Amino acid sequence: MRPVSKFKPGDTIEIEGCTEQIKEEYDPYRDARKPLIENLGRYCSYCETNLPLYAHNEVEHIVPKKRHPESETKWENFLVGCNACNNNGAKAEKSIIADPEYIGAHLPHLNNTFLSFKYEEGGFVKVNDDLPEESKKHAKRLFNLVKLGAYGSTATPADNRWKNRMEAWNLANRHLNKTSDVDTIVDLAKGYGYWSVWFTVFKTCFNRISYISCGISCTVCVNCKQFPSIIIVFYFNFNPIRQPRTEVFNQQIFFTLCHN
Ligand SMILES: [Zn+2]
């Protein structure tokens, strides 16, 4: 799951050419839609699907507004969510601050959720067994909360997340060994979403990139014309990169590894 760097109240953000400050509260909460999308990208914070332009329910409440009405308008309670994650089982009713079986569930803006799950061929996703037990427990709580592993007959008819992951995997895999240019691959990834799938398919390069983030210079990777750019764009909320790519690259990968 793509970890995200979420703005805090008081931070400035540029929306449609205007600079705004993130507010503590948005009342009605749907007013938070634009800053959320600008901050986190038009992708579900949980399953990473690319939300359609006409979607109008992107403002996701981390703890359900029915049970915690005091948090209905609070920026800190918002992420971006798709219908499948939000209405798929427990998410709309269970609380990660009140229900013991979900307390402390990993969240993409608080934990390094890239490490929480593993993505596999066929569109499968599972909790990362390599995590320490305590961390694995909290990864599993998020996994169960949004039913991230729903697949085939275990998914509801309206839940196409597994099919979309499978398509993204197949597409990424086809381009792994091609000489496709970076912009083509990035455009495809932006269109499909599923950052973790693309990241996993290109994991060989990610290992090399991790090497750099430890502060060990690796000119092979720095000069790589293809993969670092992809990783940067993925991590940067799929938004265009405004800074020199190598600089962003080092900052963001460092964040990926250390933000846990
Ligand atoms: Zn989703």
Give me the pLDDT at residue 235, please: 40
Instruction: Give, for 59, the enclosing helix (H) or strand (E).
Output: strand 59-61
Q: What is the pLDDT of residue 217?
A: 29
pTM greater than the 0.85 cutoff: no
Question: Ligand 1 centroid vs 88 CA: distance in angstroms?
Answer: 9
- Ligand 1 centroid to Cα of residue 230, in Å, is 22
Q: Chain-wide mean pLDDT for the chain?
A: 76
Please give the distance, rounded to the nearest whole angstrom, from the Cα atom of residue 84 to the centre of ligand 1.
6
Q: Cα(22) to centroid of ligand 1, in Å?
A: 24
How much distance in Å is there from the Cα of 43 to the middle of ligand 1? 8
Q: How far is the C-alpha of 174 from the C-alpha of 189, rounded, in Å?
A: 13
Q: What's the 3 CA to ligand 1 centre distance in angstroms?
A: 14
Question: CB 55: neighbour CB atoms within 10 A?
Answer: 16
* Rounded to 5°, angle at Cα 41 from 35 and 47: 125
Ligand 1 centroid to residue 47 C-alpha, Å: 4
Distance CA 252, CA 248 (A): 6
Task: Tell me, in angstroms, the distance from the centre of ligand 1 to residue 260's CA.
Answer: 22
Q: Assess whether pLDDT exceeds 80 at residue 206.
A: no
DSSP state of 125: E
Cα–ligand 1 centroid distance for 23 (angstroms): 25
Residue 125: band (very low, low, confident or very high) from pLDDT cuts 50, 70, 90: very high
CA of 193 to the centre of ligand 1 (A): 11
Residue 255 has pLDDT above 60, yes or no: no
**pLDDT per position as a tens digit, 128-182:** 998 889 989 999 999 999 999 999 999 999 999 999 999 999 998 887 766 666 6
Distance, CA 2 to ligand 1 centroid (Å)? 12
The answer to whether 237 and 80 are in contact (CB under 8 A) is no
Q: Please give all residues whose CB falls under 5 A of ion ligand 1, grouped by chain where several chains appear.
A: 44, 46-47, 82, 85
How many A from CA of 216 to the centre of ligand 1? 36
Region of residue 10 (left: phi > 0; alpha: psi -120 to 50; beta: else): left
Summarize pLDDT for 44-91 with one digit per residue, the tens.
999 999 887 766 668 999 999 999 999 999 999 999 999 999 887 788
Residue with tokens 């909320």: 237
Instruction: Map residue 96 onto helix, strand or coil.
Output: coil
User: Separation of 51 CA from ligand 1 center, angstroms?
Assistant: 9
Buried b (16+ CB within 10 A) or exposed e, 90-121: bbeebbbeebeebebbbbbbebbbbbbbebee
